[in-house]
Each structure stands twice: as C-alpha cells, then as structure tokens.
Structure 1
Amino acid sequence: MTSTATPLRITVWNENVHETSQPEIAAIYPHGIHGAIAEGLGTVLGTRAEIRTATLADAEHGLPEEVLAATDVLLWWGHRSGVTFTRGNGKILYFSPGDQKYPIYYRQQIRQVLANAVQWAAPAKARSLPSPVHTTRMAQPGRHIGSEFTSVPNPAIRRMVAGHDLLE
C-alpha cells in the first residue's frame, strides 16, 4: 500500500443503469451501488484513501485518461464470483458477492473484503504510465481475451475474506 502520507487513489466505476431505471433498485441504492461501495471504502479506509466514483453516463464513461492516470485502484462491481490474477505489474481482483436487488454492499463484511482487496491491489511502487494506445479486441464466443485466470479459491481471496463469515 502507498505510504500514510500519500492516500490510495481509488475510482469506483458502475454502469448505474438499474439504480436509475428501476425504482425498487433505486430504493435500495439511492446513491447507486458505486455510492454504497465508495461510502464503505471511506468508512473502512478513512484518510488512507481518496475515493471518486464514475458511471457509464459520465463523459467518456467516467474514465477519461486523466482519471485513469490519477487512479491507483479501479473497482467495478459485478455478479457473484471471485478471482484474482496479475497482468504485468497489475493486480486484478474480480469479487462479486451479489446483485443489485440485494443491499449486499452495505454489509460490513463485504465492505471489509473490498477494503482489503483495494489494499492488496495497491501499487507496490510508483508507476510510470505508457502513452495511451487505443485498440479494439474482439472476443470469440465462450473465450476470454488477454487474461490468465487463477482458479478459485486462491490465496489472495482467502486472505481477503479471512475472519469474515460471508454466509450469515
């Protein structure tokens, strides 16, 4: 993790479609799932993190080059799964404990797992960013592109959920 003098720069990204188009989901997540995740990270990490949110409806889908350049850890929520892998010097966690129909991102255990994940994924050293390269890669049905996935359970996920009963 970065030093205590330098807060970890976190961007929480969300499509924000269900929360804005379905009243029953908006009632659960009035500030979006991204808002609930950002709030939880802020509660757990405090001044050790600078947290911003971005959504699909924002300009450049909320992730222009300057935002990405000022982000140490990028979070995006998904549906029920968990996997970690590395890509070059990057660490990637895909952790999805639930669905927008459930208030899972308000649970303290889930917030702690996400805070642990952010700290695990934090850059170990200062990064130098390459010049932007824009490419398009097409997937063939049923195939992943450009990733070597590690089977679950794996040691990183076990460390992140250690001591947290997520099945209560």
Structure 2
Amino acid sequence: MNITVWNEFRHEQSSEEIAKVYPGGIHEAIAKPLRAAGHNVHTATLDEPEHGLTQECLDKTEVLLWWGHVAHGEVADEVVDRVVARVLDGMGLIVLHSGHFSKVFKRLMGTSCDLKWREAGERELLWVVDPTHPIAEGVGQFIELEHEEMYGEHFDIPVPDELIFVSSFTGGEVFRSGCTYRRGRGKVFYFRPGHEEYPTYHNEDVQRVLQNAVQWARPTQAAQPKYGNAPFLDFSR
C-alpha cells in the first residue's frame, strides 16, 4: 500500500548522539522495514514545503505515520486541517510516542492528550492485553525495551475503542500504550514507545507492531456514505 512516514527531523540534526542512533532520521528507521515488507513508502519532514504533506501526497496516502516532539507548534494549521480531513475521509493514521501532543492527534481526540513523563532510561514492558487483536499478531505476552522514556497515567484521551498494550515501568507507573479509535471513515492507532535517544524503532517487535498496524489502519473498501436530504424508499412494490 502507499504509506507516508512523517517526522519533525529536528533531534537528529541537532544532536550527534541521536544522529548515531538514527543516522537517516527516525522516519527512515520506520520506513525501512515497511519497504522491506513490500509497501510503497514515502517520507516527509517538517522543514519541507507544506511539511511534505501536500494535498497530492495525502490523496495518495493510505496510511500516515506521525512522529513529532519539539516543534508541534510549527506545524501549519492548514496542513493539520488537510490531514484531519483525510483521516475523516478514510486515511489511516498511526501516531507515535510524543506525537500524542501533535495538533493532529489533539484535534481528533478533542482532549488535552496530556500525561506524566520522566526521562530516566527505565525498562518498559508493553503488555499485550488483547492477544486476539491483529495489531498484536506475532507478538508474545509482552515487548521488553531496556531503556525508554516513562509515560504515566493519567493520559487525558477519550476511552479507546480498543486497548491493545499497557506499559509498566521500573518506577511503578503504568500507561495505556496501544489505543485504537475510529474517526469518520478513518482508523487511528496511538503507539507509545519511541523516545529519540533510544533505538526503539530498531526493535523487531516494535517493527512488527507497526507492520501489523498499517494493515489494520488501511482504508476500508466500502461505499461512500451519502448525507443530507434523502428520498423516501418505497419497498412496497
């Protein structure tokens, strides 16, 4: 399918240590295994014209993956409107890690999407709480990440349609780390791990989740609903 991976691409250019972890950028680390799985993957970054998310690009995109952190406010409202409209029209959206605070995700959720956090390189266990869900296919009882940023409850999001992963951290916090939503005709998946300082997107289980997620989020091939005034349907004949 046609996939677009969007990334701010700021940390990798400002920090030598982060550039060593993701020399091609977080977007390329995410895109590489998806390309290897046979998908047509395009990448886009914040500093490109229109942030790389032109109407033409989005019209071709079946699933969009979004990573952002330090520059949420720099994303133009016009582009946010464009992305949200495409989600409501059926494009899948996968929001990663600190993308919880993106304008796009907050608009679609209708809440602050705020949370607790701590950067201490703690161990994270992502427990599979819905082993029947297709996004969890091929994953064991949990995914272990040796070092990650802590996110803790309360996470100010709407009650998820489906909860797939719950994280636990060394400090004792827990977090709803894999949540799905339907918005209009589109499907949205929020997946928590992915702090820029750690090689999370090189982890094979994380890559497997993202490969499963793009399959789940792909647009449904169904008739476009019709709205507005409707004629009376006479079934008496």
Tell me the TM-score normalized by structure 1.
Answer: 0.66
CA 1:60 to 1:126, structure 2 compared with 1: closer, same or farther past 3 Å? farther
Asked if 1:21 corresponds to 2:11, the answer is no
Asked if 1:95 corresponds to 2:191, the answer is yes
Tell me how far 1:97 sits from its aligned partner.
1.3
Does the Cα contact within 8 Å between 1:40 and 1:106 map onto a contact in 2? no
Q: Output the CA distance in 2 between the equivalents of 1:76 and 1:105.
A: 13
Report the counterpart of residue 145 of structure 1 in structure 2.
none
Q: Output the CA distance in 1 between the equivalents of 2:222 and 2:56.
A: 17
- The DSSP-based 3-state class of the residue aligned with 2:47 is coil
Unaligned runs of 5+ in 1: 1-7, 129-168
Moved over 2 A (4+): 77-82
- The DSSP-based 3-state class of the residue aligned with 2:187 is strand
Q: Output the CA distance in 2 between the equivalents of 1:62 and 1:92.
A: 20
Tell me the TM-score normalized by structure 2.
Answer: 0.47
1:115-130 alignment runs, 5 A limit: 115-125=211-221
Aligned partner letter, 2:218: A
Report the counterpart of residue 157 of structure 1 in structure 2.
none
Number of positions where the alignment pairs a residue of Structure 1 with one of Structure 2: 118
Asked if 1:30 corresponds to 2:126, the answer is no
Q: Deviations over 1:83-112 (max 9, x none)?
A: 210101100011121300000101111111
Aligned partner letter, 2:16: P
Q: Output the CA distance in 1 between the equivalents of 2:41 and 2:57.
A: 12
Report which of the two has the higher share of strand. 2
- The DSSP-based 3-state class of the residue aligned with 1:97 is coil
CA 1:34 to 1:127, structure 2 compared with 1: closer, same or farther past 3 Å? farther
Report the counterpart of residue 210 of structure 2 in structure 1.
114
Higher RCO (CA-CA < 8 Å; seq separation 6+): 1
Unaligned runs of 5+ in 2: 68-96, 99-150, 152-176, 225-237
Aligned partner letter, 2:60: A
